[in-house]
Homo-oligomer: A and B are copies of this chain.
Amino acid sequence: MGRNRSGVLEFALLGLLHRAPMHGYELRQQLSSLLGTFRALSFGSLYPCLKELHAAGLIAEEHEEQDSSGKARRSRIVYRLTTEGKERLQDLLSEGGPATWDDDGFGVHFAFFGQTRADVRLRILEGRRSRLEERTEAIRAAFTRTRERVDSYTLELHRHGLESVEREVRWLNELIASERQGAQQTESARTDNDTSEKESS
């Protein structure tokens, strides 16, 4: 019945509010520069979603009525995460499943990699890569299946699409290598310092 509340929006809002409490308008601005495509989310999506998160007890509203000497600055609602909201965010940050491989999901999860565990980061990067490799194969198949039968523009579209995906795979390869190196360094440092400790947070 709750209309919204799933997909990437909830996650993005919780993630942003974890950095700092904010009001709706500011959240939208941050969202624009955060989301993969840099598209602006409409208010018609944003405010209902915030209300639902509030109704679900994940965020708290604070009506900013600090009339210090009469400068009553009403009508701004600052949201902050509740304890339950923080727990929910931690759950979402631990997710590394298929939902995090697709275009939208990956973009948002990557934006919050700074708050994500190293093992989850690697799972997401590798999942994303194999997802893109599937797409590469699909394009290549369409390529050989329809070659000769298509005009030069369709061919160029396929060629450019293929190149873009392959570039992103190379980008992911670099990131994965970098993550592995970081993990190895952490591992060896941990082994050097304390061999008995297991899975320290």
Chain A residues near B (Cβ < 8 Å): 32-34, 36-38, 103, 107, 110-114, 135, 138-139, 142, 145-146, 151-154, 156-158, 160-161, 164, 167-168, 171, 175
Q: Is the CB of B38 within 8 A of A114?
A: no
Q: Is the interface of A mostly helix, strand, loop or mixed?
A: helix
Q: Is the CB of A153 within 8 A of B113?
A: yes
A-B contacts, 7 listed (Cβ < 8 Å): A33-B138, A33-B142, A36-B157, A111-B157, A114-B151, A156-B175, A164-B168
User: Considering residues A103, A146, A154, which has the most beta carbons from chain B within 10 angstroms of its beta carbon?
Assistant: A154
Q: Is the CB of A142 within 8 A of B110?
A: no
| B residues near A114, Cβ cutoff 8 Å | 151-154
Cα–Cα, bound, A111→B153 (Å): 6
Q: Is the CB of B157 within 8 A of A110?
A: yes
Q: Is the CB of B142 within 8 A of A38?
A: yes
Extra pairs beyond A38-B139, A110-B157, A160-B171 (19, CB < 8 Å): A32-B138, A32-B142, A33-B139, A33-B146, A33-B158, A34-B154, A36-B157, A36-B161, A38-B142, A38-B161, A107-B157, A111-B154, A113-B151, A114-B151, A114-B152, A114-B153, A156-B175, A164-B164, A164-B168
| B residues near A154, Cβ cutoff 8 Å | 34, 111, 114
User: Considering residues A33, A103, A110, A139, which has the most beta carbons from chain B within 10 angstroms of its beta carbon?
Assistant: A33
| B residues near A111, Cβ cutoff 8 Å | 153-154, 157
| CB of A164, distance to nearest CB on chain B (Å) | 7
Instruction: Find A38's partner among B37, B138, B167, B175 (CB 8 Å cutoff).
Output: B138
| B residues near A167, Cβ cutoff 8 Å | 164, 167
| CB of A21, distance to nearest CB on chain B (Å) | 16
